Amino acid sequence: DVVMTQSPLSLPATLGQPASLSCRSSESLVDSDGNIYLNWFQQRPGQAPRRLIYQVSKRDSGVSDRFSGSGSGTDFTLKISRVEAEDVGVYYCLQVSHWPMTFGPGTTVDLK
Amino acid sequence: EVQLLESGGGLVQPGGSLRLSCAASGFTFDNIGMAWVRQAPGKGLEWVAVITANSDITHYVDSAEGRFTISRDNFKNTLYLQMNTLRPDDTARYYCVKSWWLDNWGQGTLVTVSS
């Protein structure tokens, strides 16, 4: 199975400042068709997860443009351009390029 | 608007069974694969089972293989998870999720396995 790692596991963020979350896979996420199925999810305290980003960099409907995804191969990044209070929570990456799908352990974002 | 409403969770003794249901609306249910994902208390996310739109293919996480069965009724727009021989480490909130790319999630139903 593809192992997903995330760093840092805890990220104290400053309101109005940018934040960067990293996700790495144990093998390339380029599938046999040349696509990369790497998603990012946000889980606010006490809420269900919601998908923010799919296929590395595509934002889901209704997701703030403060969130952006990038990366290739085995290294991926979720960036928050200006952290807001509502961004507090746990962020998970997920790869669906290779079966079985696998989640990262999550990065907890809180406020300094 | 996509809505996924899970039900059927609760407290069950080790070795017992539960059937979770997920009522789906707001999309063409019979065109979309579906999934169950769980989250143990204070832990991360783990996919449990997936099913194709016409039920011809199902996959399970190793720990659920042989004990859980995912199924669906496309006439009732409902997804199911039959869980047998439950163990304490099955204790989790179980989420019904639209598509194998996990694009929409329900609020989950809590399953507690304890004597």
pLDDT tens digit sequence for B31-74: 999 999 999 999 999 999 999 999 999 999 999 999 999 999 99
- What are the pLDDT digits (tens) for A35-53? 999 999 999 999 999 999 9
Q: Determine the number of helices (DSSP H) and then strands (DSSP E) in chain A.
A: 0, 11
* Cβ-Cβ contacts under 8 Å, A90 against chain B: 44
Contacts of residue B9, defined as CB under 8 A and 6 or more positions apart, other chains included, come to B18, B20, B93, B94, B109, B110, B111, B112
Q: Kindly state whether B107 is in contact with chain A, defined as any CB-CB distance less than 8 angstroms.
A: yes
Asked whether the beta carbons of A18 and A82 are under 8 A apart, the reply is yes
* Cβ-Cβ contacts under 8 Å, A37 against chain B: 101
**Which of A4, A23, A54, A103 best tests the B interface by mutation, with the highest count of B CBs <10 A?**
A103
Q: Which of B30, B13, B24, B26 is nearest to B88 (CA)?
A: B13
**Residue A76: beta bridge partners?**
A23, A71
Q: Please report the pLDDT score of residue B88 as a whole number.
A: 97
- What are the pLDDT digits (tens) for B77-90? 999 999 999 999 99
Separation of alpha carbons B68 and B97, rounded Å: 17
Q: Kindly state whether B30 is in contact with chain A, defined as any CB-CB distance less than 8 angstroms.
A: no
- What are the pLDDT digits (tens) for A61-83? 999 999 999 999 999 999 999 99
Q: Please report the pLDDT score of residue B1 as a whole number.
A: 94
> What type of residue sits at position B66?
G
Cross-chain residue pair A48–B101, CB shorter than 8 Å = no
End-to-end CA distance of chain A: 36
Which alpha helices (DSSP H) does chain B contain, by range? Answer: none
Q: Please report the pLDDT score of residue A84 as a whole number.
A: 97
pLDDT over 70, % of chain A: 100
Q: Which of A66, A25, A24, A59 is nearest to A41 (CA)?
A: A59
